[in-house]
Amino acid sequence: MSTRTTGAGTYTPRPGAAPLPRMIAAQAVLETRLLLRHGEQLLLTIVIPTLLLVLFSAVDIVDLADTADGGDGGGRVDFLAPGVLALAVLSTAFTGQAISTGFERRYGVLKRLAASPLPRWGLMTAKTCAVLVVEVLQAALLTSVALALGWSPRGGPLAVALLLVAGTAAFSGLGLLMAGTLRAEATLAAANLVFVLLLIGGGVVVPLDRFPAPVRGVLEWLPISALSEGLREVLRDGAGPPWAQLAVLGCWAVLGLAAAARFFRWE
């Protein structure tokens, strides 16, 4: 049997990790596919926010007379659409990501990733990028539904983008912190409970001024309240960037991501 000679070093292996941006991009693509593949996640991130938008816009279950223009359907959707967009960010960046990452940790997926050259913060970055892709799809769908219901958005897209990115960073950090410190079953229960509580008390469908002043003062510091009220100021009232709400979201993002990077356990 004859062999063909080749130039020196033609097949010399080049061991070593891929460049960090390439590793993060590859992991982000994988995380996006996993998010879009799960029917349960799609129910949480797509179906529930859309149903809430349609239901509460058609029927004045919550009295929005003083927040809507005359209490008509168009006024209700002007109030609800920004809140539902904030809810979509919460469902994807926090609830969905916490549950999926918690069970990945339980089944040993994260343990194997820990043996790869991808650093801990690189995994968090990839998961956040995947969340952003899903949120773009959510925003496109919810915006189309809201426009069909008579929504008349105002304000600049840059302010909206700043709020959505800051909200995503805040919720992503908190979701990863929960998934990386609690058992998978505890994460499942806690993430769903937080979702329901913030849906009710985060200014999404119930105006914050419906709560007593002491309670409202606490609720305004929650990230979901800051995001929903900030989006409402821009999209309904036509205001510029809401710096107060952006500062609240920025603080939650820094604290959440720093805590997740510090306390996240891979197994």
Residue 4 lies in a domain: no
Q: What is the pLDDT of residues 115-159, one digit of tens each?
A: 777 777 787 788 888 888 889 989 999 999 999 988 988 878 899
In this prediction, residue 2 carries a pLDDT of: 47
pTM as predicted = 0.84
* Position with higher pLDDT, 109 vs 229: 229
Which range marks the domain in which residue 195 is found?
A: 20-263
Mean pLDDT, residues 37-45 taken together: 74
Long-range contacts at 206-211 (CB < 8 A, ≥ 24 apart): 206/62, 207/62, 207/64, 207/67, 207/79, 210/62
In this prediction, residue 13 carries a pLDDT of: 65
Residue 11 lies in a domain: no
Residue 141 lies in a domain: yes
Residue 5 lies in a domain: no
Q: What is the pLDDT of residues 230-246, one digit of tens each?
A: 999 999 888 788 999 99
**Which two three-digit tokens encode residue 183?**
């058992």
In this prediction, residue 55 carries a pLDDT of: 86
Q: What is the pLDDT of residues 19-40, one digit of tens each?
A: 778 888 888 888 888 877 776 7
Residue with tokens 């309240």: 225
| Pick from 253, 62, 267: nearest CA to 181 | 267
Residue 7 lies in a domain: no
**For residues 86 and 224, what is the distance between their CA atoms, to the nearest angstrom?**
7
Mean pLDDT, residues 44-68 taken together: 73
Task: Indicate the number of domains in the chain.
Answer: 1
**For residues 222 and 202, what is the distance between their CA atoms, to the nearest angstrom?**
7
Q: What is the pLDDT of residues 189-211, one digit of tens each?
A: 999 999 999 998 888 888 888 88
Query: For residue 3, is pLDDT > 60?
Result: no
In this prediction, residue 230 carries a pLDDT of: 94
DSSP 18: P
* Position with higher pLDDT, 107 vs 229: 229
Residue with tokens 């005359």: 70
In this prediction, residue 161 carries a pLDDT of: 92
Burial class (CB in 10 A: 0-12, 13-18, 19+), 220: middle
In this prediction, residue 221 carries a pLDDT of: 93
Cβ 163 vs Cβ 82: under 8 Å: no
Mean pLDDT, residues 208-215 taken together: 87
Residue 12 lies in a domain: no
Q: For residue 61, what pLDDT band results from cuts at 50, 70 and 90?
A: low
Largest pairwise CA distance in the chain = 90
Query: For residue 257, is pLDDT > 50?
Result: yes
Residue 14 lies in a domain: no
Residue 116 lies in a domain: yes
